Structures are given as structure tokens and as C-alpha cells.
Amino acid sequence: MQLAYSALVRGDALPAVVVAAQRGDRRAFAELYRRFSRAVHGVVLARVRYCDAADLVQDVFAVALERLPQLGEAAAFPGWLLTIARNRSIDFVRGKRPIAMGDDLPELPVAASRASEVAQVLTALRALPDAYQETMILRLVEGMTGPEIAEQTGLSPGSVRVNLHRGMKLLRDQLGISEEGASDDKASG
């Protein structure tokens, strides 16, 4: 039994979409990709160079498609998928020679003078403790909201808020930005 595509577009509950994908509905799997590709990209980007992230995202979803019938509880899909993303990223990094992470930035829609600042921030984000790194990248790079991060990672909304707050403080410290300076930037921006 295939789930009608129109039902997917209406935003069916995640378990229903996962079950449909497990039964072979390719449109349901495409919907899972649409819903989770940003989160997977953020998790991957926390560990690999930007230029390698898109290919790894595709790899993660290929593995997920292959292993989806083995997923026992449909509601566990977000955590299961992000675990695949973490493991594939770690395996990828193990197989590569070390390269400076900021050296591979894509063509960014910022002035050339800002590109080094972007590289510095991305490097600082990757240097955060694991507990904050992914959450901060999902927020600042992928542009996800706190509730979206909670939904896609399985973290509680409170945990996401704490991770973002503490991660932002650590990021400011690493970049040498005082909280007063950050407040001034907000007021002037």
C-alpha cells in the first residue's frame, strides 16, 4: 500500500511517512530527504570539508534507503538517520589525509574580504565541543530554528536552547567577541 503523495505534501506525521518509505514508496523517501537533508548536511559539515559534504549527504541517504527496512521503530528515524550521518562522516575523515578545513570554502555570496571571516567562524564552530557543534551548525549554517533542530535531532527543545546558548558563548570566546560587543552589533544591525 503506497501513501498518496498529496498526503505527504500535507505534512503527515513522520512515522506514517517512514512506514510508507519502508514499504517501498519512493515519494515517501523523497519526502524524508526533503525534511531531513538540511539536518544531515549540518551533521556532516561538522566533520568534513564543505566541498565533500554534498556527496556525503547523498551517501547517507543511499545507506538509509538500503537499511530502512531494518529500522524497527518509525519514530526513531531522525536519530537513526543522524547516527548514519555521523558514522559515515567519521569513516570518511579517517580515510582522508588532513587538510585545513577553512581552505575548501565554496564560492560564498559574501565579499572577498568577508570570506576569511566566514572561514574563521566555520573553523571555530568545528572546534566547539561535540555537544554544541552540531546544534550551532544547524542553527547558524543551515538556518534551522530551535524547534526544527529539536524535531530533527530528537533533542528536547530545552536541550537545544541550552546547547545554543552555551555554544554561542563558547563561539564568542573563541572569536574574541565580548557579550557587550555582540549586544552592540544586534542594536546597530
Which whole-number Å values give the CA distances from 19 to 7, 14, 29, in the listed order? 13, 9, 10
Please tell me the class of the 107-189 domain.
mainly alpha
Q: Nine-digit cell at 79?
A: 536519530
Query: The C-alpha cell of 109 is what?
Result: 555570496
Cα separation of 121 and 136, whole Å?
11
Whether residue 104 contacts residue 51, with contact meaning beta carbons closer than 8 Å, is answered with yes
Evaluate whether 161 touches 151 at the Cβ level (below 8 Å): no
Can you give the pLDDT at residue 73? 93
The pLDDT score that the predictor gives to residue 181 is: 52
| CATH number assigned to the domain covering 1-99 | 1.10.1740.10
User: Does position 100 have pLDDT exceeding 70, yes or no?
Assistant: no
Which pLDDT band holds residue 177 (cuts at 50, 70, 90)? confident
- Where does residue 69 rank: exposed (0-12), middle (13-18), buried (19+ CB within 10 A)? exposed
pTM (global) more than 0.75? yes
Domain ranges of the chain: 1-99, 107-189
**Same fold across 1-99 and 107-189:** no
Residue 117 has a pLDDT of 75
Spatial distance between the Cα atoms of 169 and 163, rounded to a whole number of angstroms: 10
pLDDT band (50, 70, 90) for residue 113: low
How confident is the model at residue 178, as a pLDDT?
Answer: 75
The 3-state secondary structure of 118-142 reads HHHHHHHHHHCCHHHHHHHHHHHCC
Looking at mean pLDDT, say which of 1-15, 49-63, 120-134 comes out highest. 49-63
Query: What is the C-alpha to C-alpha distance for residues 164 and 186, in angstroms, rounded to an integer?
Result: 17
If you average pLDDT over residues 12-40, what whole number do you get? 94
74 secondary structure, DSSP code = G
User: 3: pLDDT confidence band, cut at 50, 70 and 90?
Assistant: very low
User: φ and ψ at 13, to 5 degrees?
Assistant: -60, 145
By the 8 A CB rule, do 141 and 151 touch? Answer: no
Q: How far apart are CA 189 and CA 64, in angstroms?
A: 42
Residue 157: per-residue pLDDT = 94
Q: What is the pLDDT of residue 186?
A: 45
